[in-house]
Structure formats: C-alpha cells, structure tokens
Amino acid sequence: MHRLIALLLLAAFLSGCASMDERKKTVTLERATRHYENAIRWGDYETANAFRLREGDSALTLDPDSLKRFRVTSYEILSSVLNADETEARIVVQIGYYDQGRMREVTLTDRQTWKYDTDLEQWYLDSPLPAFR
C-alpha cells in the first residue's frame, strides 16, 4: 500500500514538473516576443536582430542606417500558435510604420517563427526582420 501511495505521489510530482516546464517555456516566449516588439517599436534593429538564429544564411547582415527612415507607429499581435511540444511558435503581427523617405504610412503583416533552444532554454526568431519597404 505504501508503494502505491509513493508511486502516485511520484507520478503527481513528475506531471507537476512537466507543467512547470511548459509554463516556463510560455513565460520565456512572452518575454522574448515582448522585448523583440519593444526593439522594433523603438527602431533598435540591432537588438531585434540579436533575437534571430545565427545558423547559415539566415543570419542577417544588418545595415541600421538603411532602416533609420522607418518609424513604427503600431505593433499588434494578430495570432500566436504553439506546437504540441512547445518548441516552435508561429506569431502573426501587423506592423504600422511611417516611411520618412516617401512620407507615407504603411502597414505590413509579419509572419514570425520562433524556435525554442532546449539547451539554452531560450526562444529565438527563425524569420527575417520585418520587410520595411
């Protein structure tokens, strides 16, 4: 009888640990996307680019001077979907910005893919920066 109770307690503990890990991933994703959003809103594209994966050709060679003419006026998350094991998130964002060079306001839809690095316990953006044009 004691073994059964001990096994039930162990199972409950392990399932609690799993939900804590899942919750940690969600909180970490929210934090990363919020910091990324702030960097985009304030035109800090070097910081925004630091959230990106650095594998192969996906790493951007950033020219911050070419992006200075864009001023973000709005940033709205339209949808956010996590995969079943919470290692990938697809986020769709609508970004409004003002192009100072052309003196016009533009809206774009940015489709972001975020991936979770289990070793570092961090989320990274596996998409390019928004396509300001």
DSSP 43-83: T-HHHHHHTB--SGGGS----HHHHTTEEEEEEEEEEEEE-
- Nearest residue to 122 via CA among 40, 54, 44: 54
pLDDT for 53 equals 82
Domain spans of the chain? Answer: 2-125
pLDDT for 4 equals 44
User: pLDDT of 9-20, one tens digit each?
Assistant: 444 444 444 455
For the record, the structure tokens of 68 come out as 């200075």
| 103-132 mean pLDDT | 95
User: pLDDT of 14-48, one tens digit each?
Assistant: 444 445 566 889 999 999 999 999 999 999 998 99
Look at strands 122-125 and 104-117 and give their pairing.
antiparallel
- Nearest residue to 124 via CA among 87, 83, 72: 87
CATH class of 2-125: alpha beta
pLDDT for 6 equals 43
